């Protein structure tokens, strides 16, 4: 659902994301989503003794409600003014994107490593990754930063744009709720193995196509920026499935091929060492300067994704 020109909404939202990012002092729907999940979790666990059933209810309550709130806000704005409705769509979609926030966070990690402040680098990268970072050396911190840039290109740019093209800003907002639930409860820990299973599986399904589409979005800019487009594509085809996640490996492998680095390997999560296969095992280890190279590739890929979304909607000549 779009009110007004759909391509204008996508172009304006992406531009706002590049210019403003995610100001920490401003209200943000993702924080509200997380708060809603935290409030509902203990209530649902008490109401439904079976953790899996409680987790299913969490998803059924929050994802459709999120879509309905987005749809309702646009509809209400449309009664006042079509221009206001279009502005509301732009703001909703803007909050679903995280291009600048991802770039800023990753580059903060690199700056800390450049000034040889490993403690600050560990703390900074710990804010954007799920693994434990207190024991990481400079190579481990750099690898974590590159991997999160690669993986979150899908979660923070490609998938929201994909769902915006399919169903407008409300569907992109609903996707963001799915992704937020997965990041909060979609763990394989004893506490969330059953309760978070529905959220994790729904997130896997939602990211299935965007993750695979991201390979072309990465390989194209990799050919121009790094002269390694073919290597990026081949690495994604070879190692894209070598990840515990059915989706994260595709963008990580494409980045590994583009940068000529080795990603993956064992990491510690919630006190447990998790063995992950290496991606691009024959390549060198990640260096500090690779973070900036990964960020540049992410920006170019994000721009290409936005241009393709705008172009597709222009060709379609209407709103989905």
In the chain, where are the structural domains located? 6-316
Buried b (16+ CB within 10 A) or exposed e, 196-226: bbbbbebbbebbeebbbbbbbbbbbbbbebb
**Range with lowest mean pLDDT among 105-109, 129-133, 234-238, 277-281:** 129-133
Greatest Cα-to-Cα distance within the chain, rounded to the nearest angstrom: 60
- Between 91 and 191, whose confidence is greater? 91
pLDDT value, residue 38: 94
CA–CA separation, 97 and 297 (whole Å): 17
Span 276-313, pLDDT tens digits? 889 999 999 999 999 999 999 999 999 999 999 999 99
Pair 234, 197: CB distance under 8 Å? no
Residue 290 contacts residue 259 (beta carbons within 8 Å): yes
Range 131-147 average pLDDT: 92
**Rounded average pLDDT over 63-87:** 95
Bridge-based pairing state of the strands 267-269 and 272-274:
antiparallel
Q: What is the CA radius of gyration of the chain?
A: 19
CA distance 107 to 291: 7
Please give the angle made by the CA atoms of 173, 155 and 28, to the nearest 5 degrees.
Answer: 45
Query: In the predicted model, what is the mean pLDDT of the chain?
Result: 93
């Amino acid at each position: 659902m779009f009110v007004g020109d759909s391509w204008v909404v996508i172009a304006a939202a992406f531009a706002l994301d590049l210019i403003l990012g995610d100001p920490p002092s401003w209200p943000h729907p993702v924080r509200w989503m997380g708060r809603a999940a935290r409030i509902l979790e203990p209530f649902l666990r008490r109401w439904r003794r079976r953790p899996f059933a409680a987790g299913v209810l969490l998803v059924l309550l929050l994802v459709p409600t999120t879509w309905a709130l987005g749809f309702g806000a646009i509809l209400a704005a449309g009664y006042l003014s079509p221009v206001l409705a279009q502005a509301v769509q732009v703001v909703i979609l803007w909050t679903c994107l995280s291009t600048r926030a991802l770039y800023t966070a990753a580059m903060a990690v690199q700056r800390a490593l450049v000034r040889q402040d490993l403690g600050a680098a560990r703390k900074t990268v710990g804010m954007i990754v799920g693994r434990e970072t207190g024991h990481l050396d400079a190579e481990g911190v750099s690898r974590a930063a590159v991997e999160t840039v690669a993986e979150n290109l899908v979660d923070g740019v490609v998938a929201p744009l994909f769902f915006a093209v399919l169903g407008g800003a409300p569907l992109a907002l609903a996707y963001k709720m799915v992704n937020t639930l997965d990041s909060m409860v979609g763990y394989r820990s004893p506490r969330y193995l059953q309760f978070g299973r529905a959220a994790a599986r729904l997130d896997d399904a939602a990211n299935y196509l965007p993750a695979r589409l991201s390979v072309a979005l990465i390989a194209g800019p990799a050919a121009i920026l790094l002269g390694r487009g073919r290597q990026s594509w081949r690495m994604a085809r070879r190692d894209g499935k070598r990840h515990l996640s059915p989706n994260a490996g595709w963008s990580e492998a494409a980045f590994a091929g583009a940068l000529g680095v080795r990603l993956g390997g064992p990491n510690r999560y919630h006190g447990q060492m998790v063995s992950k296969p290496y991606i691009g095992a024959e390549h060198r280890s990640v260096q500090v300067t690779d973070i900036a190279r990964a960020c540049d590739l992410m920006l170019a890929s994000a721009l290409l994704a936005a241009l393709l979304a705008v172009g597709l909607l222009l060709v379609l000549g209407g709103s989905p």
